Structure 1
Amino acid sequence: MTATDTTPAALRTEAEPARPIQTRSERPTSFDPADFGAPTGREVNWKLSDVRRLAPLFVDEETEAGDEPGIAYDVDGIAERGLLVESTGHDAAPRGEIFRPEDVVSAIAWKRCPNALHIRLPEGQEVAEPIVARLHGLGADRHANAHIVIEAQPGSIGTVVLHHSGSARYAQNVEILVRAGARLTVISVQDWDDDAVHASAHQAVVADGGYLKHMVVSFGGDVVRVNPSVRLAGHRAEGELYGLSFADAGQHLESQVYLFHEGVETRGDVLYKGALQGTGARSVWIGDVLIGSGATGTDSYEKNQNLVLSDGTRADSIPNLEIETGDIAGAGHASATGRFDDEQLFYLQSRGIEEEEARRLVVIGFLMEIVQKIGVAEIEERLAEAIDEELRRGAGLAPATRAGA
């Protein structure tokens, strides 16, 4: 595919836009990185990002022959179960069926990764055990690009987990196709080492009667930017978008979320929660919801909540809602950032709980609402441990000993 597929006459470079782009639906797309240029930090989709630390991902360079890969993919178990599909070349369907790069990083990842990792749930079948793709970075100096296709065939049911660990400079596209009547859960876990740089664009479409639960969980990494875009295209399509982040000193964790209600009687729910501790901890959440002119009977709500645990942190939270039809069931948005609830702390302390433990219980209670929505026991347990580790680190306590350690 080439940029001509996306009406290049309408494109504006990120560096010098002809006019300010006010809404998410207006953003230009292209498969050619040259159509975007390197971000400066003034562009609407980059103004809250750390472009300095993300800069290695803005370079469009071909990998030298013999260079070792930046990411090791552990997908043998997926192949053995018959859920991995060969996808060779940019034109291998269904790659590119709905994916359109919205920025230079995504366009480079498309261009420099000719083959896709394609996971497919069989039509009419339920895959009971979660499908886990473990993506391990091989070094902070290693660069990697990826295109991943997750396809739920009609009537299928299953959960796909993308688990990121290690370190790398990683640009990633994830294309999610939920066919008619399918029920799919996609969980992206960013459990990177402290020096990883990761930018990912997730784009999904949900057909008639389909359901997508999409989750972004970010703990590790230096800079992590995971931007999900979900189009509820079919009649009574449903989408639930959840996110959880815990930013430590110096970390930048970001998600720009887009939910487009296109079909009739669609339902959407967006809930992202974050905690921040340590000087320089930064979280960015931008939530854009568009209810299209034909999306009658839509019911949609988005909310972002951030809990600040120490001084020197910053949380940006920007909800946006566009409604192009008056015939809807409901729509709303909310955002809140604040410190501990003194009444909750007082209540726990009045029951004989020490202040530090009371604070820990409040944070765990705040974040566990998202953790419990995952539905995969292994991941839920690991995240509960990770939350506890983060809190103990912030309090200067030794890590708790794991059972069996």
Structure 2
Amino acid sequence: MTTVTQAPVAGAEGHIDPAAAFVPVQTRSERPTSFDPADFGAPTGREVNWKHTPIARLGAVLVDEDTSASEAVEYRLDVPETLRVASVGHEAAVRGEVFRPEDVAAAIAWKQSPDALHLRIPANEEHEGLLRVDLVGRDARAHGNAHIIVEAMPNSAATVLLYHSGSAQYAQNVEIIVRDGARLNLVTVQRWDDDAVHVASHQARVDRDATLTHVVISLGGGVVRVNPSVELAGAGSECKLYGVSFSDAGQHLESQVYMHHKGPHTKGDVLYKGALQGESARSVWIGDVLIGADASGTDSYEANRNLVLTDGARAESIPNLEIETGDIQGAGHASATGRFDDEQLFYLQARGIDEAEARRLVVVGFLGEIVQKTGIPSLEEELTAAILAELDAGVQE
């Protein structure tokens, strides 16, 4: 367990109590971790990792009470039995090798989920079929927690899909381990009903010469917060973090992304895109990249792009880059939020396409770049149709 430690402000004297003068946590890497929810306390909204989240809407996911995912979410696994590993108790092998709760919701999910769903791809095996886990919410009043482990053994390869639907109040931890030379593609889709609450913490470690592609697709839910954190630990490791969201009226869709380049000659690519329409539609993206002192030869870039389709919608985008070594190949970050590109619309309309269809084409093209990165053709078709349906619903309103 790590508790918050903050240094006294130099020169604090006079009527200021030196014991009360502290420097707050300044960077993403300094955040405390603990397996005990009591060490975090209830968030107030002033904390750096909660101030963009509508805490009042999170309900039971912030309550430390005895419950389980089975009460709120039904698991439907299309995964061979040979790839499922028994994981009973908090001390089960592998569990906690990577994962350390960074907020109270993750600590509660850890505590209240003594057993984990553990998927393991055997060493030197390339699994050709899709490994799919459907998580279907039973009821908006039902509250559940879960811990999921996805482990790719050395030189293995697989694609794993976590698909969320229905309604629930659901806190979820996903622990991802990509061992030497492995290639893992993990896609998480959130197509919850409008009254669902989903707070998820994904933490991954990528070892030597291994590759992780992680894709977050959020198209449904009242409040959905999926925060991926990746440590590029091994030399030559690579990670691609992609995300797409479409926020409608009353929806809050959020991702706080963290990539830590720890080993030498690592590569990172972060690209999240979002569209928003409707009164009080909200999206939040916070991207933190840390290039550590030993991460020589790093090549890293992060970007967030948002398309605001109507008045009353708001996108918050905060990229951060911290570099502790000068020996890198390249590093950068970018953020842009705006409305339709009038030149694109004019180009399409000048070729006989009406305005409504032109808007559809622009939005689908904008978000489609990320949808295509899932690497699952059937899912790409489904998500494209879902984006078009969202657009049409907004026009009708």
Shared fold by TM > 0.5? yes
Q: Secondary structure at the match of 2:220?
A: coil
One-letter code aligned to 1:57: V
Give TM-score, length-normalised by structure 2. Answer: 0.95
Q: Secondary structure at the match of 1:219?
A: strand
Partner of 1:310: 310
Shift of 1:377: 1.0
Are the structure 2 counterparts of residues 351 and 192 from structure 1 closer, same or farther at C-alpha, using a change threshold of 3 Å?
A: same
One-letter code aligned to 1:73: Y
What is the alpha-carbon distance in structure 2 between the residues aligned to residue 27 and residue 290 of structure 1?
13
Partner of 1:55: 59
Deviates more, 1:148-157 or 1:369-378: 369-378
What is the alpha-carbon distance in structure 2 between the residues aligned to residue 26 and residue 345 of structure 1?
45
Partner of 1:270: 270
One-letter code aligned to 2:51: K
Partner of 2:33: 29
Are the structure 2 counterparts of residues 9 and 227 from structure 1 closer, same or farther at C-alpha, using a change threshold of 3 Å?
A: closer
Give yes or no for contact 1:11–1:29 (8 Å, CA) kept in 2. no
One-letter code aligned to 1:69: E
CA deviation profile, 1:328-374 (whole Å, cap 9, x unmatched): 00000000000000000001000010011011111111011001111
What is the alpha-carbon distance in structure 2 between the residues aligned to residue 147 and residue 256 of structure 1?
19
The alignment-based identity, stated in percent, is 64
Q: Which of 62, 71, 82 in structure 2 is aligned with 1:69?
A: 71
Matched, 1:78 2:79: yes
Partner of 1:127: 127
Shift of 1:378: 1.5
Shift of 1:18: 5.0
Q: Secondary structure at the match of 1:363?
A: helix
One-letter code aligned to 2:333: H
Matched positions, count: 385
Q: Which of 47, 58, 70 in structure 2 is aligned with 1:43?
A: 47
Partner of 1:401: none
Give yes or no for contact 1:143–1:170 (8 Å, CA) kept in 2. yes
Give yes or no for contact 1:11–1:35 (8 Å, CA) kept in 2. no
User: 4+ residue stretches of structure 1 with deviation over 6 A?
Assistant: none
Give yes or no for contact 2:179–2:208 (8 Å, CA) kept in 1. yes
Gaps of 5+ in 1: 1-5, 398-405
One-letter code aligned to 1:199: V
Q: Secondary structure at the match of 1:127?
A: strand
Shift of 1:78: 1.2
Task: Determine which structure has the larger strand proportion and give its number.
Answer: 2
What is the alpha-carbon distance in structure 2 between the residues aligned to residue 283 and residue 105 of structure 1?
20
What is the alpha-carbon distance in structure 2 between the residues aligned to residue 190 and residue 68 of structure 1?
18
Partner of 2:141: 141
One-letter code aligned to 2:207: A
Map 1:125-204 → 2, pairs under 5 A:
125-204=125-204
Give yes or no for contact 1:182–1:211 (8 Å, CA) kept in 2. yes
RMSD, matched Cα = 1.6
Deviates more, 1:16-25 or 1:132-141: 16-25
What is the alpha-carbon distance in structure 2 between the residues aligned to residue 187 and residue 375 of structure 1?
9
What is the alpha-carbon distance in structure 2 between the residues aligned to residue 368 and residue 163 of structure 1?
19
Gaps of 5+ in 2: 8-19
